[in-house]
Each structure stands twice: as structure tokens, then as C-alpha cells.
Amino acid sequence: MMKRVYHSLLPMLAMAMPLLPLQAQDAPASAEAEAALIPYAEFPYKLNVVYFLGSDREPIEGYEQRLSDLLLLGQEFYGLEMLRNGFGLRSFPLEQSSPEKVNILIYRAPKPASEYPYSQGGGSRAAAEVNAWLDAEEGRRKSQHTLIIFPTWYDEQYNDLNPGGVPFYGLGRTCCALDYKNFDIQHLGKDTPEGRLMTKWFGGMLHELGHGLNMPHNHASATETATLGTALMGAGNYTYGLKPTFMTKASCAILDVCELFACEAGQAFYTDKAKNLKIKDIKINFAEDVITLSADYQSNEVKSVICYVEDAPTGANLNYEAANFTEAFPRRDVDKDEPRVSFTMPWAEMPQLSKEDCLIRVRFLMTDGSYKEEQIEFKRSQRGEVSIKKTKMSK
Ligand code: ZN
């Protein structure tokens, strides 16, 4: 069943490829075939997938195969987007008992499902319990990244036709999604009530998983909107399956240094390498139709630099509109033997920005997945050159 659906999704994937250079234009068919064979299971870290049962609940019928089909399709989508963005065919590995089946751990909570609601800290309580449980037995935890799936509530408001009630968001490296009876790959991509529900909840699962894999919100550029559709970490949770949906280069640069995407064991992640990064100078020039920015820094371990341009203020749920410009594997300045990056950011690529007060966040992504950000606030009417040396945020 899964293979059949892969093929029905191929036209959508093909629509997502026109920006590739000529050499790679044959990629959809061969990449899809290759993606089906890629031994992600041999990667050293695996996503922890946990089915969360309140003490009064049982799993929804068929959950193992339904969720396996969907997780493997999501894995393929992430892999092909990494490839298209130049980071190679890599995706989040899953523990599997067969090529078609993902090992989904069952967690039985001590309290009834109603104790873990969407709001009032329900997700944080569930995440704390699950993470403690993953650590309680050696070998149970497969990485620092966890996807928790809750069966929908059944009450006067929620049911299989209107799933919900449960946590559905990212919480650091843990994220929450939900399951219901028709959460089934056979409905994906269909313009039916079941199909539209799949886009909302499966697109939603892939979006929340993105948060759990370190990705913040961001927006497609004008060119991307015209050619690739909606960014998954923008409003892609409302389009995936029904309309072209893609991942930005900024999102993939973050996955490039995510623990789960490591092909080989031995490297430590999230060790705060960013702490020692020295950013020497950031120069910005605001011209009529373009912002140019350049930065010098001292470190051999910066893997990518991302410039986010967004309306002020910024914050976890205030940055859906963030335009993004990414320089992966920054080059070295041969004369000074120091790395530097430069960006040219046309306003025409950011029509979604509407406010007079804007800001730029320059994120330096280290090889261990940690980052340092510099934040520059400005007014759209600003003209001329500005030099900034102040560091705002590190994580
Ligand atoms: Zn989000």
C-alpha cells in the first residue's frame, strides 16, 4: 500500500524540483528509488517514537502499520528535501523491525488521559514522564530526539472526525502529535474530508517533528512560493499532501547538524561549541531594494550561517514570516585565513514582511548543532551602513 501512495505523490515531488541545475533534473525518479533503499536504519541515532497511553486508554486500532507508513513517508520527504538543498540524501532514522514496520514504544502513564491536555502544561508533564522512562532502562533511548503520539480524546468535543484535546507542539527536542482512526496514508492527497484531515494532522506531525529536530518557523521566499509552494516550517502543516510543500535551505542546514542526521557514530552533539565562537564584525548596508550583510568570525566549526529577516518583535510563535538566506559551508578568506560570509537579500523576496520595525537574526550554526545568534533591529526606512558587534542569544 505504501509504495502505491509513494507513486501517487511523485507528481508533487516533481513539482518541487524545477530550481535544480540541469545536471540534477533527472533526480526525482532516481532519488525516489534511492530513497526507498537508503539504509537510514544503519545511522547511529534513531528517533524515539513513543505512543502515549493514559491509564484509561488503549491504542487506536491498526496504529502500528498506519503510523509506520506515515513515518516512513515523512522520512522520505525529509531525505529528498535534504538532497534537493545540497545536503545529501539523509533523513531521521527510525528503529525498524522490517522495511515496512517502525518500532513504536508504548508508554503507559500512571494517570488518565485527561491529566495530559493540550493546555495547562499537559505536554510538558507527558514529555517529562516519557523522557524519564526512556532513561530508566539502558538502551531504551536511541537519541536525544523524541516524537510522542497521543490517541485523540473522545468527549463531547473531540473524536475521530474532530481529533484533538491532546498536546500537539514542540517542546525542545521532544514533540507531540496525535493519532485517530482515519490517520491513514490511503487518505493522504485526496480532496475529501478524510484527506483534508490528513493534511492538517500529518502535515502537522511533520511540522511539529521539525520543531523537535531543532527547526524554528520560517517562510518561503517569493521565488520559492512561485516554484516550490509553502515551507513546511511556515504554514506547510496546512498544505502538505494537497499542495506543493517543501523545506527551506535554512531548515535543512539545521538538520545538517542535528544529531539524528549524523551518518557515523562518535560525534557529540549539543555540546555548546557556539560558546567559543568569536564573531569579529557584522556589517550591514541597507539600500533601496536590497540588504547586504557580511560577517567575519573565528572558528573552524561553523557549518552554516543563516540570516533571518522578520517583522519585530521575534519569538517562538512570532516568526512564521521569517525570510531566510543561508550560506552553507562558508568559505575561507585566503589572504587572512579567516572565514567570512556575505549575503545579498532582496526585499522583493520577502513580500510577507509588512511592518516598519524589522530585525535580522544572524545564526551561526556549529558542527555540534549548537548556535550563536546576533540580532539587529532596524527600520525599513533605514539607509546606509551599520556595524554591529553585540551578541544576543546562544543555544
Ligand atoms: Zn510550529
- Confidence check: pLDDT of 231 > 80: yes
Q: How far apart are the first and last CA of the chain?
A: 42
Residues 6+ apart with CB under 8 A from 163: 152, 178, 179, 180, 183, 197, 201
**Mean local confidence (pLDDT), 260-265:** 93
Q: How far is the CA of 97 from the centre of ligand 1 (A)?
A: 31
- Confidence check: pLDDT of 388 > 90: no
Confidence of residue 288 (pLDDT cuts 50, 70, 90): confident
- Alpha-carbon radius of gyration of the chain: 21
**Mean local confidence (pLDDT), 114-129:** 97
- Confidence check: pLDDT of 196 > 80: yes
- Confidence check: pLDDT of 11 > 90: no
- Confidence check: pLDDT of 12 > 50: no
Three-state DSSP class for residue 356 = coil
Q: How far is the CA of 357 from the centre of ligand 1 (A)?
A: 23
Q: Which amino acid is at 394?
A: S
Q: How far is the CA of 265 from the centre of ligand 1 (A)?
A: 30
Strands (E), the chain: 48-53, 96-98, 101-102, 105-108, 146-151, 170-171, 174-179, 230-231, 245-246, 278-286, 290-298, 302-311, 323-328, 332-333, 338-346, 357-366, 371-379, 384-388, 393-394
Q: How far is the CA of 393 from the centre of ligand 1 (A)?
A: 20
Q: How far is the CA of 271 from the centre of ligand 1 (A)?
A: 25
CA dist., res. 183 & res. 128, Å (int): 26
Range with the poorest average pLDDT among 78-82, 98-102, 338-342, 385-389? 385-389
* Choice between 243 and 8, residue whose per-residue pLDDT is larger: 243
Q: How far is the CA of 335 from the centre of ligand 1 (A)?
A: 42
- Confidence check: pLDDT of 263 > 70: yes
Q: How far is the CA of 208 from the centre of ligand 1 (A)?
A: 6
**Mean local confidence (pLDDT), 274-290:** 90
**Mean local confidence (pLDDT), 271-275:** 95
Q: How far is the CA of 169 from the centre of ligand 1 (A)?
A: 7
pLDDT at 23: 34
pLDDT at 200: 98
- Confidence check: pLDDT of 292 > 50: yes
Q: How far is the CA of 211 from the centre of ligand 1 (A)?
A: 7
Q: How far is the CA of 105 from the centre of ligand 1 (A)?
A: 25
**Mean local confidence (pLDDT), 244-255:** 98
pLDDT at 393: 60
pLDDT at 6: 36
pTM (2 d.p.): 0.89
For residue 394, give the C-alpha cell: 546562544
pLDDT, the chain, mean: 88
- Confidence check: pLDDT of 93 > 70: yes
* Choice between 19 and 148, residue whose per-residue pLDDT is larger: 148
Q: How far is the CA of 91 from the centre of ligand 1 (A)?
A: 19
pLDDT digits (tens, 9 = 90+) for 304-362: 999 999 999 988 788 999 999 999 977 666 566 677 899 999 999 999 998 989 999 99
Q: How far is the CA of 233 from the centre of ligand 1 (A)?
A: 6
Q: How far is the CA of 215 from the centre of ligand 1 (A)?
A: 9
pLDDT at 4: 32
CA dist., res. 136 & res. 129, Å (int): 10
pLDDT at 16: 37
Q: How far is the CA of 300 from the centre of ligand 1 (A)?
A: 31
pLDDT digits (tens, 9 = 90+) for 127-172: 999 999 999 999 999 999 999 999 999 999 999 999 999 999 999 9
Confidence of residue 395 (pLDDT cuts 50, 70, 90): low
CA dist., res. 212 & res. 9, Å (int): 25
Confidence of residue 19 (pLDDT cuts 50, 70, 90): very low
- Confidence check: pLDDT of 28 > 50: no
Q: Strands 230-231, 101-102: parallel, antiparallel or unpaired by DSSP?
A: unpaired
pLDDT digits (tens, 9 = 90+) for 218-228: 999 999 999 99
Three-state DSSP class for residue 22 = helix
